[in-house]
A and B are shown apart, each in its own frame.
Chain A
Amino acid sequence: MALLEIAGVSKRFGATTAVDDVTLRLERGAFFGLLGPSGCGKTTLLRMIAGFESPDSGRIVIDGVDAAGLPPYARPVNMMFQSYALFPHMDVAGNIAFGLRQERMDRRRIAARVAEMLALVQMPGYARRRPHELSGGQRQRVALARALAKMPKLLLLDEPLAALDRKLRAETRLELVGIQERVGITFLVVTHDQEEALSMASCIAVMDRGRLVQTGPPAEIYERPASRLSPNFVGEVNLFEGELTAGFNCLALAVTGFPEPIPLPSGTQLPKGGAAALVVRPEKLVLSHAPPAGFAIAATVSSVGYLGGGSIVHLATEQQKALKAYLPGTAAGAFGRGTRVWVAWPAEDGVILMQ
Chain B
Amino acid sequence: MTGLGRLGRLVLIGVPFFWLALFFLLPLLIVGKVSLAESTIGIPPYTPLIAHDGRGLKLLATAANFALIASDDLYLRAYLGSLGNAALATALCLIIGYPVAYAIARCQTGRRQLLLFLVMLPFWTSFLIRVYAWIAILEPNGLVNQALTSLGLIAAPLPLLNNQFSVELGLVYSYLPFMILPLYGSLSNLDRSLIEAAADLGARPLRVFLGVTLPLTLPGIAAGSLLVLIPAIGEFVIPDLLGGPDTLMIGKVLWDEFFNNRDWPVAAAVAVVLVAALAVPLLAAQRFLERGHAR
Residue positions of A touching B, CB distance < 8 A: 52, 71-72
Identify the 4 closest CB pairs spanning chains A and B, nearest first.
A71-B2, A72-B2, A71-B3, A52-B2
CB distance from B3 to the nearest CB of A (A): 7
Interface residues of B in 100-154 (CB under 8 A from A): none
Which residues from B are CB-within-8-Å of A72?
2
| Alpha-carbon gap, A52 to B2, bound state (A) | 8
With A and B bound together, what is the CA distance between A72 and B2 in angstroms?
9
Please, how many angstroms separate the alpha-carbon atoms of A72 and B3 in the complex?
Answer: 11
Q: For residue B3, which residues in chain A have a CB less than 8 angstroms away from its CB?
A: 71
Q: Which of B1-25 contact A (CB under 8 A)?
A: 2-3
Closest to B2 in A: A71
Query: What is the bound-complex CA distance between A72 and B1, given in angstroms?
Result: 12
Nearest CB of B to A177, in Å: 33
Secondary structure of the B side of the interface?
loop
Range of interface residues on B (Cβ < 8 Å): under 10
Set of chain B residues within 8 Å of A71, measured between Cβ atoms: 2-3
Binding site for A on B (CB under 8 A): 2-3
A52–B3 Cα gap in the complex (Å)?
A: 11
Output the nearest chain A residue to B3 by Cβ-Cβ distance.
A71
- Which residues of B have CB within 8 Å of A52? 2
* A71, closest chain B residue (CB): B2
A52's nearest neighbour on chain B, judged by CB, is B2
A71 to B1, CA, bound (A): 11
Q: Tell me the minimal C-beta distance from B224 to chain A in angstroms.
A: 33
**Chain B nearest CB: distance from A245 CB in Å?**
59
A-B contact pairs, 4 of them (CB 8 A): A52-B2, A71-B2, A71-B3, A72-B2
Q: CA A71 – CA B3 in complex, angstroms?
A: 9
Tell me the complex Cα distance, A264–B48, Å: 99
Give every chain A residue within 8 A of B2 (Cβ-Cβ): 52, 71-72
Query: What's the least CB distance linking B294 to chain A, in Å?
Result: 18
Complexed CA–CA distance, A315 and B3 (Å): 59
Bound-complex Cα distance A71 to B2 (A): 8
Q: When chains A and B are docked, how far (Å) is the Cα of A278 from the Cα of B3?
A: 52
Shortest distance between the CB of A182 and any CB in chain B (Å): 33
Whole-angstrom CA separation of A40 from B121 in the bound complex: 51
Task: Tell me the smallest distance from the CB of A102 to a CB of chain B, in Å.
Answer: 15
Report the minimal beta-carbon distance from B52 to chain A, rounded to whole angstroms: 58
Chain B residue at minimal CB-CB distance from A51: B2
Minimal beta-carbon separation of A198 from chain B (angstroms) = 35
B98 to chain A, nearest CB (A): 37
Q: Closest Cβ of chain B: how far from A214's Cβ, in Å?
A: 33
**Measured between C-beta atoms, what is the minimum distance from B34 to chain A in Å?**
50
B8 to chain A, nearest CB (A): 14
Min Cβ gap B4→A in Å is: 12
A48 to chain B, nearest CB (A): 13
User: CA separation between A266 and B3, bound complex, in Å?
Assistant: 60
How near does chain A come to B99, taking the closest CB pair, in angstroms? 37
A50 to B: closest C-beta gap in Å: 11
CA–CA, A140 and B3, complex, Å: 29
A52 to B1, CA, bound (A): 10
Chain B, Cβ-Cβ closest to A73: B2
Chain B: minimal CB distance from A232 (Å): 37
Please, which residue of chain B has its CB at the minimum distance from the CB of A72?
B2
